[in-house]
Amino acid sequence: TDQIYKQLHSRFPSVPAVILMTKALDISLSKSIDFDCLEQELEETNKKFQPKFKSYKFYPSRQHDFKKDKVIHSYIAGYQFHKMITKLSNAPVPMRTILNMSDAIESITYIENKELTETYEKQRDSLKRQGKV
């Protein structure tokens, strides 16, 4: 049962462990099981439990790794942060003093949501066709 569970978990990582263990027990104890139906059910459950977004966390470093996935977004965010923080020296609200600008960023999290990106692209294309953009 443990081997079956591990195989199911590797194929369907987003399905909750309880469901996978139940299916593993069904497979190990049942004499006749419809594997096609089981696979289809687990694929649907896997899609249902997949997160709608993916996040990437970046930490400042003295070494640059441009091969890292989505790293360009961390460089853009860091640049924008430093650009804004230097412009806000005469801000109407008193700001915290940053003594060492190179240590001002603890981490940068980039969040990617494909569903929202697709919606944005469709809306942008629609506005372009209408001549509003």
pLDDT in tens, 35-94: 899 999 999 999 899 888 999 999 988 888 888 889 999 999 999 988 887 776 666 666
pTM: 0.59
Amino acid sitting at position 86: T
Q: Give the residue, 64 or 123, on which the prediction is more confident.
A: 123
Number of neighbouring beta carbons within 10 Å of residue 32: 4
pLDDT at 13: 92
For residue 13, the one-letter residue type is P
pLDDT in tens, 80-119: 988 887 776 666 666 667 777 778 899 999 999 988 999 9
pLDDT at residue 32, rounded to an integer: 86
- Measuring CA to CA, which residue among 17, 14, 13 is closest to residue 2? 17
Q: What average pLDDT does range 18-45 have in this prediction?
A: 91
- Looking at residue 91, its pLDDT comes to 65
State yes or no: pLDDT of 20 exceeds 90: yes
**Three-state SS at 5:** helix
